[in-house]
């Protein structure tokens, strides 16, 4: 069974601070996606990383895929209240001839003004 | 273009009842996936439909079922509701069936089901 562990589960910081969220597994994934979900809404895709060691930047957000494609991290620089939300990682893998997606339980981030 | 539309947004049912949730995907998207989201378990995959056929199924009991129509709209049904079925049910659409690095899931806002 493919599992993704996200840490920390909850994170409350002040505006302007930096933070890193982790997504770890003992399994290898063909790609990994990060989503952000705001209250009352569905998850919205932020980025997809495909290659081991890949780093992608989206404004103040930096995403990294581990060399072995088993883990990923999301780093936010100078967090803003608008970054508040539930951050979910999702790993894609092939099983039984079809491709599937498994989600971590998420990191709930609160950025206080 | 319009996003993924889920109806109803909120509903309250009692144990033993059944419920049907609806999802209208983005125009042109032929794949619809359903997920259950709870605080304790996170997002769990229910099933995926592509061109009216169920292509993938998660580890949920047979009380959970779904279907997809020729216009790609999808419904899911939960029969004999239990308290543990209380959750946010999310629908996601995509153009392609496979979950690959290039595939993008667009989620709806969800249907929040409360079972009393």
Residue burial B28-53, b: 16+ Cβ < 10 Å; e: rest:
ebbbbbbbbbeeeebbbbbbbbbeee
Spatial separation of the C-alpha atoms in residues B76 and B3, rounded to whole Å: 19
Q: Span B45-49, mean pLDDT?
A: 93
Nearest CA in chain A to B96: A99
Residue A97 has pLDDT above 80, yes or no: no
Q: Is B27 in CB contact (< 8 Å) with chain A?
A: no
Asked if B105 reaches chain A (Cβ–Cβ under 8 Å), the answer is yes
Q: Which residue in A has a C-alpha nearest to residue B106's C-alpha?
A: A44
Given pLDDT bands bounded at 50, 70 and 90, which one contains residue A93? confident
Bigger pLDDT: B2 or A110? A110
Alpha helices (H) along A2-66: none
Q: 3-class SS at B85?
A: helix
Please give the pLDDT value at position B26. 94
Instruction: Give tens-digit pLDDT for B57-108.
Output: 899 999 999 999 999 999 999 999 999 999 999 999 987 755 555 567 899 9
Identify the pLDDT of residue B5. Answer: 97
SS (H, E, C) A20-32: EEEEECCCCCCEE
* B116 contacts chain A (CB < 8 A): no
What percent of chain A lies above the pLDDT cut of 70?
Answer: 99
Residue A62 has pLDDT above 80, yes or no: yes
User: What's residue A95's pLDDT?
Assistant: 77
Residues of A in contact with B44 (CB under 8 A): 103
**Cβ separation A41–B106 shorter than 8 A:** no
Q: Which of A43, A98, A106 sits opposite B107 (nearest CB)?
A: A43
pLDDT in tens, B13-32: 999 999 999 999 999 898 99
Question: Which of A95-109, B2-16, B80-94 has the weakest average pLDDT?
Answer: A95-109
Q: pLDDT at position B103, please?
A: 66
Q: Is A45 on the interface with B (CB under 8 A)?
A: yes
pLDDT range class, residue A3, cuts 50, 70, 90: confident
SS3 label, residue B104: coil
């Amino acid at each position: 069974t493919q599992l993704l562990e996200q840490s920390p589960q909850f994170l409350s910081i002040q505006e302007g601070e930096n933070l890193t969220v982790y997504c770890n597994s003992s399994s290898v994934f063909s790609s990994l996606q990060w989503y952000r979900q705001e209250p009352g809404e569905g998850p919205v895709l932020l980025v997809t990383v495909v290659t081991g060691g890949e780093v992608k930047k989206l404004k103040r957000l930096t995403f990294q895929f581990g060399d072995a494609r088993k883990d990923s991290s999301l780093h936010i620089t100078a967090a803003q209240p608008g970054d508040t939300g539930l951050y979910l990682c999702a790993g894609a893998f092939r099983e039984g001839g079809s491709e599937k997606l498994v989600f971590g339980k998420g990191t709930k981030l609160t950025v206080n003004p | 273009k319009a996003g993924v539309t889920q109806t109803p947004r909120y509903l309250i049912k009692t144990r033993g009842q059944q419920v049907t949730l609806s999802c209208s995907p983005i125009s042109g998207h032929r794949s619809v996936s359903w997920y259950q989201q709870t605080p304790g378990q996170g997002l769990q995959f229910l099933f995926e439909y592509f061109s009216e056929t169920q292509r993938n199924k998660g580890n949920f009991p047979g009380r959970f079922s779904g279907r997809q129509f020729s216009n790609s709209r999808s419904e899911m049904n939960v029969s004999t509701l239990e308290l543990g079925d209380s959750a946010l049910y999310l629908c996601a659409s995509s153009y392609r069936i496979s979950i690959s690095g290039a595939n993008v899931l667009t989620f709806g806002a969800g249907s929040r089901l409360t079972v009393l």
